[in-house]
Amino acid sequence: MTLDPILLKRIVRSAITTRPDEIGCRACAEQLACFAEAHLVGKNAAEAMPLVQDHLERCDDCREEFEALLTALRALAL
């Protein structure tokens, strides 16, 4: 069995860039609504919640969830 080179690259990058204060998917999900609302009202959400921003930069699944949440909130605002 061989590993997909792209998957292997992601695994290595994650291992190398792990920070002691980073949050996981569960903690990110718990804070995502607040992060999205801050983003939508023009606040610097990344500055206010840097651990969430950092997680979204690293996690494709959570980033997709964030983008879907933004889309839904924008649609509700119309």
pLDDT band at 12 (very low <50, low <70, confident <90, very high): confident
22-47 pLDDT tens trace: 899 999 999 999 999 999 999 999 99
What gap in Å lies between CA 54 and CA 28, rounded to an integer?
10
Where exactly are the structural domains of the chain?
22-77
Q: HSE-up of 62 (CA within 13 Å, CB side)?
A: 22
Condensed to tens digits (0 to 9), the pLDDT of residues 62-74 reads: 999 999 999 999 9
Amino acid residing at 48: A
**Cα dihedral 73, 43, 61, 24 sign:** negative
4 exposed, middle or buried (CB, 10 Å; 0-12, 13-18, 19+)?
A: exposed
- The amino acid at residue 18 is T
